[in-house]
Chains A and B, each alone.
Chain A
Amino acid sequence: MAQVVLKEIVKQYGSLYAVNNVSLTVEDGEFVALVGPSGCGKTTTLNLVAGLLPMTGGDVLIGDRNVTDLDPKDRDIAMVFQNYALYPNKTVYKNLAFPLQMRKLSKAEIDTKVMDAAKVLDIVHLLQRKPRELSGGQQQRVALGRALVRDPQVFLMDEPLSNLDAKLRVQMRTELKRFHQDLKATVIYVTHDQLEAVTMADKMAVMSGGFLQQYDSPKNVFEHPVNMFVASFVGSPAMSLIPLEAINTGGKIALSSSEGWQLPLSEANSKKAQTASTSKIVLGARHSTLQLHKSKESNSVPGRVYTVEPTGDVTFVQVFLGGATVIVSLDPSVDVKSDQEVWIEFDQERLHLFDGETEMALTDP
């Protein structure tokens, strides 16, 4: 296994930048998730690492080698694809053997390696079957086996779980995580599902519009999103963002809404708010940090319930507040109804402030 370094990689299609100056280092044995919405450049980035697309600029290093100008087969990588990309006319055994055959290994060597991989993935009983005779989960495992059999420096995975049904996806997620832990493999994993990234990855690279927005551990990305995009993308349900106006009330800053209410900020938050480029500030809060009151309390602001979504363990309540929708999680025993007047209390320690112009997170000066 090896370290992977992306140095200022760029992929341009005409005037469009699919990947714009992305640099990141994947340490040896690390599981890194490239995550972002459709069209953010995450799959393109993965294909650039694989060498399946020519790069416009930048370098890719795998181990100590600069592989920028090498063919995919010479990069010592293995790839797992979204729809598994198993060869439909070959049996599972031949699917696993194919990359080894292409490397002209002897029959005996191929057999040993295929059997080893099949044992690890528990697919020995499937070896004589054709891919179409397998379930989605089994196909996924074969695809993983075909990558494993090569003993590559890096595993590249392109949304490998998104074709599975919800239940199987959760199961395969834990299997994949285990697979990574057992093999101590370097994995670069593309997904649009931030939950997959958060649950599996050591580090996640959040991408949008071809740019790398934030590259950090899931915990840090979750707790300290660098901008509004990351804040709204990571976490389920997403962070609520309320556009407000900062006003100075004798040294302290308060956030004022178009509806007339004001939310005084704590001292620490006031300092952050003062670094904003304009008076436009976006307040961000995760559902679990908000408290809902049925009657007016100090430090709470008024809103109206839009919908109530019970999920069993928690009930999510969407509240209209300051011209935005805020999601609050409640204990299912709390009884609220649509159109009910409620008061929301923010946790000053755990709320996020963003610059309304630059959309960047406001931090301590």
Chain B
Amino acid sequence: MSIATEREIAARAKRPIRFGVLRQMVDRRSDYLYVLPALIVMMIVIAYPIYYTIELSFFNTPSNLQMKDKVFIGLDNYARILTSRSFREVTMNTFIWTVASTFFAFLLGLGAALSLHREFLGRGVLRAVLLIPYVVSAVAASYVWKWLYHSDFGVIGALAVQFGFTDRPINFIDNIHTVLPSLIVVNIWKEFSFAMIMLMAGLQTVPDQLLRAAQVDGANAWQRFWHVTFPHLKGVSMVTVLLLMVANFNAFIIPWIMTSGGPAGASDIWITQIYTIAFGRQRYGLASAYSVILFIVMMTLGYFYVRALTRGDDTRVK
């Protein structure tokens, strides 16, 4: 650090305040220089697409026209979506898909984490096996499950027949009533390992002495879980559920590869629907409006969730 001369100090004092911010930027130009590459990338891949999507959502983009010939139609796209029956159906599907997947993936993950927390023979192997769904590529897994579910050649249907549950193979994913639950099962299978890892990490933070104290106090295994372990897992559970919810709202790979939203839209969720509108029907304006709605819904949910999370922190500090 150099010592400023009196003249410099006087010059600084004379400098108008409105140049303060700019001046600071110039003074600290090297700092800005370091974050500039990241900033530019963010502007190009995040900020600009968001802006363009919002802009596009006010235009009609008929598939027979070039993009430069798009027609401004104001809020018509939004009105069309919000009044359509398909939007309600897709939203319902998305809701069922997200809640069911998140709930059961979490529950299964919790069960797995708790059983793997104890010492037993083959624990390491079992843990590795249970991690497989998480590390397997979602695309590959989707194709495998598609074949497992296949109405003619699927091994699940064949086994069901062999064990006498049904007389003929079950039509899992070509039936509008069973397709969504079938996809949710795949999703749970894929996601529960993630919940398991998170909760296993959470379990490590439960102090051993606390469990011993509860044991001496007369708590049985269930009471120890309920009074000691579970309260300790609250934080990590909130984060896990949040991350699972976001992932499920934005899910694409499994439903798209396995059914592409079919049959008859029975497994269509927001993202697959947007994809179909945009790249199937080439209605970019409509798809953009859809995306903006989803964006707003997600941000609202996210806001409330983060607030709930941090409010907990505040009371904890107080």
Contacts and interface: CB of A to CB of B under 8 A. Distances in A.
Interface of A: 47, 50, 52, 71-73, 77-79, 81-83, 85, 87-90, 98-99, 102-103, 132, 146, 150
Given A81-B209, A82-B209, A102-B223, A87 B218 contact: no
A72 B231 contact: no
Contact of B227 (A47, A52, A87, A150): A87
A73 to B, nearest CB: 4
Contacts of A82: 209
B12 interface: no
Contacts of A102: 217-219, 223
B216 interface: yes
Interface in B191-225: 207, 209-210, 212-219, 223
Contacts of B215: 52, 71-73
A82 B217 CA distance: 16
A85 B218 contact: no
A349 B218 CA distance: 54
A186 to B, nearest CB: 16
B209 A85 contact: yes
Contact of B213 (A47, A71, A79, A132): A79
B180 to A, nearest CB: 38
Given A72-B215, A99-B217, A85 B227 contact: no
A52 B217 CA distance: 12
Q: Which range contains the number of B residues in contact with the other chain?
A: 10 to 19
Nearest to A75: B216
Interface in B222-277: 223, 227-228, 231-232
What is the predominant secondary structure among interface residues of chain B facing chain A?
helix
Given A79-B212, A83-B209, A87-B210, A73 B231 contact: no
A81 B218 CA distance: 16
Contact of B216 (A78, A87, A88): A78
Given A72-B215, A103-B218, 18 more contacts: A47-B212, A52-B215, A71-B215, A73-B215, A73-B217, A73-B219, A78-B216, A79-B216, A81-B209, A83-B207, A85-B207, A85-B213, A87-B214, A87-B228, A98-B227, A99-B216, A102-B223, A150-B217
B231 A146 contact: no
Contacts of B207: 83, 85
Nearest to B224: A102
B317 to A, nearest CB: 10
Contacts of A78: 216
